[in-house]
Amino acid sequence: MSELNYKDAGVDIDEGARFVEEIKPFVSATFNKNVIGGIGSFAGAYELPTGYKKPVILGATDGVGTKLKLAIDAKKFDTVGIDLVAMCVNDLICNFATPLFFLDYYATSKLIVEESASIVKGISKGCMQSECALIGGETAEMPGMYAKGDFDLAGFAVGIAEKDELDRSDKVKAGDILIALPSSGIHSNGYSLVRKLFFEKLNHKFDDEFDGKKLIDILLEPTHIYVKTFKKLKEHINALAHITGGGITENLPRALPKHLKAIVKKDSLKSIAIFDYMSKYINEDEMFRTFNMGVGMVLIVDKDSVDTVLKNSDGYIIGEVVSGDKKVEIV
């Protein structure tokens, strides 16, 4: 019997080494003065910034879900890395944390360097949009664990905040105004339903034209990252809610105290074409509890801060906070 090697088992060490060399320029482009060392150590090192009175470290982790399946089927890998970063850092800022650094975990059936590098390039692009450093990651080639062509992604973001600023709900009061920051599309939630509707029920093709673009480009539009807007408007924001799975109805209450509710005016929402189209086949309640409906983030602000926030963002008013049990009413 001839001797076996790792490559015979489906894992190519040489390709792994080539992959590391391929991604180095993308990763190093995210580094800032706080990053210690470079790529290749056993752990990433990051020097904590100064200027905080009671610094607290926060962590967030997430994935991209079945949006990855669309990317795999379409062989379009350049945007899902942005989604990965966005889902983590957009959560961090809801606790008033400034993102510091990011780690990724990428597991695949077989490492194809060019495809994998495109994914990491997207992750680095998301990190640059978030002004955080990509200081490490893990790439796992696992034949037998994943079907041929399949892969999965997980992201881990770490941020820093003042301890006294963590709990935002005690800043919220009756009379505060709800300002929506537009989403860039479906973002990264509800894609099992998206795929079933478009490609099983309606038999659409990736190249079908929709709203002046290819359908697949609309569906894979990356999640918008709100970090820079948060940094710019931080002093004028009482609380934030990242509108992910569960939609406005489930996510906005997470930013409210027990004795207040949010009134959202349906007519004020600026929906986008993809949701208008989907609404023809999915009932309204299901749409609102599954998708962001064109709203990626909701800011809760004082009345006196509304003009400043609107002037320095692409936000718009969708409602207000009033007395009542902790919930959202869409009227």
Contact call for residues 153 and 119 (beta carbons, < 8 A):
yes
CATH number of 169-330: 3.90.650.10
Question: For position 119, what pLDDT does the model report?
Answer: 93
For 127-143, write each residue's pLDDT tens digit: 999 999 999 998 888 88
Question: For position 178, what pLDDT does the model report?
Answer: 98
Among candidate residues 158, 153, 157, the one with its CA nearest the CA of residue 118: 153
Instruction: Please state the rounded mean pLDDT for residues 302-323.
Output: 97
pLDDT band at 23 (very low <50, low <70, confident <90, very high): confident
Provide the whole-model pTM. 0.94
Indicate where the chain has its CATH 3.30.1330.10 domain(s).
6-165
Instruction: Please state the rounded mean pLDDT for residues 179-204.
Output: 97
For 66-99, write each residue's pLDDT tens digit: 999 999 999 999 999 999 999 999 999 999 999 9
- What are the residues whose beta carbons fall under 8 Å from the beta carbon of 304, sequence distance 6 or more? none
Indicate where the chain has its CATH 3.90.650.10 domain(s).
169-330
pLDDT band at 11 (very low <50, low <70, confident <90, very high): low
User: What is the widest separation between alpha-carbon atoms in the chain?
Assistant: 80
Contact call for residues 317 and 178 (beta carbons, < 8 A):
yes
Instruction: Please state the rounded mean pLDDT for residues 92-114.
Output: 94
- What are the residues whose beta carbons fall under 8 Å from the beta carbon of 293, sequence distance 6 or more? 243, 247, 248, 269, 271, 275, 287
Q: Right CATH number for 6-165 from 3.30.1330.10, 3.30.300.30, 3.40.50.720, 3.20.20.70?
A: 3.30.1330.10
Distance CA(305)–CA(309), nearest Å, equals 6
Residue 111 clears pLDDT 90, i.e. is over it? no
In a 13 Å sphere around the CA of 147, the CA atoms on its Cβ side amount to 4
Distance CA(104)–CA(29), nearest Å, equals 16
Distance CA(115)–CA(88), nearest Å, equals 23
Tell me the one-letter amino acid at 282.
I
Eight-state DSSP code of residue 211: T
Instruction: Please state the rounded mean pLDDT for residues 42-56.
Output: 91
pLDDT band at 12 (very low <50, low <70, confident <90, very high): low
CA torsion sign for 17, 19, 21, 27 is: negative
Residue 9 clears pLDDT 60, i.e. is over it? no
Contact call for residues 262 and 252 (beta carbons, < 8 A):
yes
Residue 19 clears pLDDT 80, i.e. is over it? no
Distance CA(107)–CA(109), nearest Å, equals 7
List the structure tokens of 195: 């795929």
How far from chain centre, in Å, is Cα 32? 22
Eight-state DSSP code of residue 281: T
Q: What is the dihedral of CA 99, 240, 223, 195, to 10 degrees?
A: 130
Cβ count within 10 A of residue 314: 10
Instruction: Please state the rounded mean pLDDT for residues 111-137.
Output: 93
- Rg of the chain on CA atoms, in Å: 21
Question: For position 10, what pLDDT does the model report?
Answer: 64
For 234-285, write each residue's pLDDT tens digit: 999 999 999 999 999 999 999 999 999 999 999 999 989 999 999 999 999 9
Percent pLDDT > 70 in the chain is 95
Question: For position 286, what pLDDT does the model report?
Answer: 94
Residue 14 clears pLDDT 70, i.e. is over it? no
Contact call for residues 295 and 183 (beta carbons, < 8 A):
yes
- What are the residues whose beta carbons fall under 8 Å from the beta carbon of 19, sequence distance 6 or more? 111, 113, 116, 117, 139
**Beta pairing, strands 98-108 & 133-141:** parallel
